[in-house]
Chain A
Amino acid sequence: MFERADDVVERVIQHLRRPVAIDPGLDARVLREIAQAPPTNRRGWPLWSALAAAAVLGAILIARPWSRDETNRSDLLQFVFVAPRAASVSLVGDFNDWDPARSPMQTAQGVWATAVRLAPGRYRYAFLVNGVDWRADPGAPSARDDEFGTPSSVVTVGGRGS
């Protein structure tokens, strides 16, 4: 079938303009990296900007949305959630009786974090934003059986990691 040259190129262009799936976890990796290395303090950057970045570093040092320290077999997991406009974020799940008061997350410039020590097992959890808005963790597997109509995520702590 004959097709004009310009039509071929237009088809290529339309094809290339389609969205490309980029890992949403890239956002978290960027934030972790910049938290660990604040910008150079020049041209009027306030010094406390660098200090703020250092504070974030303290909050997300483990550097994964949730992760397990495999080296010392610790079951301390760090949960991180970015919500620049939130007034409060709580981590709620099977590990804290789904009680928003038990694991309030601390913020440093919109990056919310908290750490929870977990025994081996499979846990459902979610983030509660401003006390009303349920959010799943986009960096973790989703819980398929959301019987209560709001999204939840799943984290599994294994019994033999290495």
Chain B
Amino acid sequence: MILAALVMVVQVAAQDPRLERLDPGTRSAVSAVVDSARGDGLPVEPLIQRALEGATKGAPGARIVAAVRRLTVDLGAARLALGTNASAAELEAGVAALRAGATPEILAHLRDLRRPPLTMALSVLADLVASGVPADSAAAAVLALAPHARDADLVEFRRAVERDIALGAPPGAATSIRVNAGAENVFSGTGTNPGTVPRPRRP
């Protein structure tokens, strides 16, 4: 009896109070997924945020649970590729990269090329694909820049590519041209911002 009461207390304590915004059935299912992920050593905050996003957007419970489950699986895949030392932020960015079409091998290669954190590199890879860059071109670009570029350089690179695409350049070509420009800057020692727009915009 006492043991059962203790178990209940532990369960209640483990359930994130923010999940009370979910209906009871959804809350219960999401909590189970979250607990399982926690047991596996995965970060649970992204899972809770995805559930809360669904709740705020008025999504059906089943869709919320499915989204949280899918994210759990993908976080596991990202950890497998990036290693157990990867931070929660890196894993979440890794999920975005994987969903964009990067392979686990690309993530592992990136980990070997660039000292951590890899969050920005992974995120830029995902964002490039979201802009229409083929996944293999985006991955090749990020891998080419990864050893030398700063996070800020990667952001500038992404912006430059997105801008070229908006101006009508084919996404793959825009990416490779910007990579080459960036590489010239880095390796010639004439600049430290690979991939930046040649002439900065006015603020």
Contacts and interface: CB of A to CB of B under 8 A. Distances in A.
Contact of A122 (B67, B92, B131, B154): B92
A159 B53 contact: no
A98 B52 contact: yes
B123 A149 contact: no
CB-CB nearest 10 A-B residue pairs: A158-B151, A159-B117, A158-B120, A121-B89, A141-B127, A156-B123, A98-B56, A148-B59, A94-B49, A98-B52
Contacts of B154: 158
Interface in A114-143: 119-122, 124, 134, 141-143
Interface residues of A, number: 37
A142 B168 contact: no
B163 interface: yes
A54 B49 CA distance: 37
B68 to A, nearest CB: 10
Contacts of B152: 70, 158, 161-162
A49 interface: no
Nearest to A26: B201
A154 interface: yes
Interface string B81-119: 000000011001100100110000000000000001101
A162 B120 CA distance: 12
B57 A160 contact: no
A154 B150 contact: no
Interface residues of B, number: 50
B142 interface: no
B189 interface: no
Contacts of B158: 141
A145 interface: yes
Contact of A159 (B119, B126, B129, B155): B119
A63 B203 contact: yes
Interface of B: 18, 46, 48-50, 52-57, 59, 63-64, 66-67, 70, 88-89, 92-93, 96, 99-100, 116-117, 119-120, 122-124, 126-127, 129-131, 150-152, 154-155, 158, 162-163, 166-168, 201-203
A110 to B, nearest CB: 21
Contacts of B56: 92, 98-100
B18 A97 contact: yes
Contacts of A7: none
Contacts of A124: 49, 53
B93 A156 contact: yes
Nearest to B94: A122
A60 to B, nearest CB: 11
Contacts of B66: 147
14 contacts: A21-B168, A23-B163, A97-B48, A97-B49, A98-B49, A98-B56, A119-B89, A124-B53, A141-B127, A148-B64, A154-B96, A156-B120, A156-B155, A161-B150
